[in-house]
Structure 1
């Protein structure tokens, strides 16, 4: 039986993948809304393209606008889409000891069959990167999204009970069922279950608790955790609970996890209520980190922490407020394809 391993995001990439916004929900109701979305996606894409190859899935109708705004080095792949969160609708790439690339195709059902979501096309969007990469397709019966898992590359995974055990995703599944499927598809040896995600992400237009806005691995044995310092925000309690749980957890190699707190912005609310602005939702790529900024006093402090935990990588910031207003962040719109063979370490 083939043993697959999901490399850490910090391992060298062959390329990154994204999808270009084209749906009404992402583009909004006005030309100004659409321009705001395209500007945000293009800023992230062009920053990535300066450091590694990038492929962009785009609808035939959106191709001209994408080409106008994107670096000429970015490769376009036309396909129908419902939305543009390729972390969630794309494949999760894995490798094996024989040097083969695999692509896990999770079932996607609109983040747990959300009433506002459509997923006719997004349910098949992972096929684009799978085919173009030449990866071995690995079908999974589990409803899951790429934003719902994080790994250290050595078999330790972070998940949340509100995602993989969501009745709208996997009714009747137990933790054991989820862990067995993660072991088969992505090489999980130890799964650390967080009880929930951030407050805003649990509301109407959220994912019900994706881990990639809460905590991530910076290297084996070390985790970076969202830290809401203001007790007036409901995420103050959430982030304390998560940090305490992780500080008491061990990884697949038996090491106690070392926790670094990454403070939240001072901005607490927007027109819709409490925000879930998070610097944890960054993308690590070859030689760099593309990090969120929010025109907030904490932006500089967060960038300094990211530079310290990812030594040797340039920290590039992009204004993520337009992304978060639409339900996600920089990590949510990106997906890495690991280099073969996966070399590990810092590229």
Structure 2
């Protein structure tokens, strides 16, 4: 009797690189989804900022009469463009105007947004009224700033405004909202009208995330609706208020469309009414791209410092940050 033995089959040993490749694939998948946004950010935001910083350090040297092909050469300027921008007699007045504009727009807009959000949240049962109110308040935000400025501009003009007719019908002289004393309020009104709805939606969304049982417990303890709003709702939405404040601050420092659109309708708005309008004038009216780039960098740095400083000041309290 012969015994036959069968050799055991050889199994392929697991390759050491397979888990590593799988891990690398899992790690790279999120970056693949982020790649389009990162490319667009680099191409349309980061690259222009870097290029503006480069231009702000350059200037044109004119040789002779400046008529030849090589008579104008770009040379290193250092901080000369920043010095010219900061010492420009039109720069500081534009900064003061933007500061006054922000003192009007930001508190009023956020105050109205918070008020509307609290009123809508106080009556959650009437969904039909709530939807109509939310859409009505948010709708102005969907109107582009240029279109909104044109609409309000014609309402401001005394000769074509129906508001003037209403005032005259009751025997009252209508105020000229495009006069030098009221121009600031006219421009601020457009920003408040257009931005309140967006901020209201942000705050209202934060309020909707709060369970109603918390409010019911407060009512059982005898708290009024005003006390609930002041002691419970506003502290809860404080992070949303901080975020909307930062957004409003950035939009204030970059105000451009409203005064630029109203300028042909009123002779009280100069070409340097805001810092960004000064950038536009230097770049396209005076063809001084280097001074315009320096002013743009100054505005960007001011925006970053103010936004970061405010978040650093209130961030720990608003977002419950710990050391």
- Normalised TM-score (structure 2): 0.22
**Greater helix percent: which structure?**
2
Bigger Rg, which one: 2
Whichever structure has more strand as a proportion of its residues is 1
Q: Scaled by the length of structure 1, what TM-score is found?
A: 0.21
